[in-house]
Structure 1
Amino acid sequence: MPTETDIWSPEPEEYELVREEILRAPRLFASCELDRDDDEWELTGGRVCAWGLAFDNRAEVISTDGRGHGSFCSPARAAELYARTSEVRLVYP
């Protein structure tokens, strides 16, 4: 009997039962903070400040340091939180 932690390898007819749900998997994204030279405004570095999952109707985000997390209506709204203090871009790997 399978346990809750077993990896399921469905038979073709079993897969068809869950196929539509699996195809609606959330999309991974990163909120990336960019560093610029104050005088020349040239890009000097960057880092990922948060990772997120974009669902059909929301985005779930957690900061890379693990101290911040939240639910937002979209990835763009989540990025706005980080953009308050720095230049931020969304990246879909």
Structure 2
Amino acid sequence: MKNQATLNTGTQRVKIILVVIATILTIPLIAMQFTPEVKWDLADFVAAGALLLSAGLAIELVFRTITSNNLRAVLFLVILLVLFLLWAEMAVGIFGSPLAGS
């Protein structure tokens, strides 16, 4: 019975991750309706969605497989740091790599 409860909780967490990603992606979609300064095309939405989905699923994987709370916290921070650095690089090119959007 415990495995079924864990599976349901894991499935619920994945659903929450997907809802959060969709909510985050609606912010630029709505902003595009009100200002010409936000100009996202389909490729931007796909890239942002892939980046957010990979980070969310990586966090879910860490949550499911790692039992030590200290190690979980460190891995969560590393995943979030990588997410934010990649997002910033893709947005404004802080490192000047080929991923830079500017």
Q: TM-score range by the shorter chain?
A: 0.3 to 0.5
Higher relative contact order (Cα pairs below 8 Å, separated by 6+ residues): 1
Name whichever structure is richer in helix by fraction.
2
Q: TM-score, normalised by structure 1?
A: 0.35
Name whichever structure is richer in strand by fraction.
1
Q: TM-score, normalised by structure 2?
A: 0.33
